[in-house]
Amino acid sequence: MIATLADVVTSLLLLASVGFVLLACVGLYRFDDVFSRIHAATKATTLGVILVAAATALALRDPGDTAKLAIAAVLQMISAPVTAHVIGRAAYWSGGELSPETVVDQLADRAPGREG
């Protein structure tokens, strides 16, 4: 079976996508405070979802499916920063621990009620 150009591009996009998702999960597992984990988990998974949506749209080539995938990609682009903000703010103001390697905490003097 001869691989067409569309198959090759689809495969490359798929492999790049799952590579980014794997990097996100490795960062989620290895980093040592919640804020760096947010950093790892939201950005890389957004790129992964966008790439896999492009690959699937290229493989299926159906207008309805492409619309659904575009909605999923846009939804991820909108929801990932909101999720990161909500989780990060909640973790900070309720006393989440900062990594010992943290360089600057610009909210430190405005957080008298912070437990940590």
Partner 1 sequence: MIEIVTAVCFVVLAVSALLSVGRIVGGHSVADRALALDALLIVVVVGVAVGAVRTGSGIYLDVLLVVALVAFIGTTAVGRFIERRGVR
Interface contacts to partner 1, rule CB under 8 A? 1, 3, 7-8, 10-11, 14-15, 17-19, 21-22, 24-26, 28-29, 34, 37-38, 41, 45, 48-49, 52-53, 55-56, 59-60, 62, 64-65, 68-69, 71-72, 75-76, 79, 82-83, 86-87, 89-91, 93-97, 115
Q: Which helix (H) or strand (E) holds 60?
A: helix 34-60
Shortest distance in whole angstroms from residue 111 CB to partner 1? 14
- Written as six digits, the tokens of 99 are 């990594």
Shortest distance in whole angstroms from residue 66 CB to partner 1? 9
**Burial (Cβ within 10 Å: 0-12, 13-18, ≥19) of residue 51:** buried
Q: Which of 12, 76, 15 is nearest to 46 (CA)?
A: 76
What is the identity of the amino acid at 116? G
The residue among 95 and 107 lying less far from partner 1, judged by its C-beta, is: 95
The residue among 87 and 106 lying less far from partner 1, judged by its C-beta, is: 87
The residue among 74 and 108 lying less far from partner 1, judged by its C-beta, is: 74
**Token pair 């798929």: residue:** 14
Shortest distance in whole angstroms from residue 8 CB to partner 1? 8
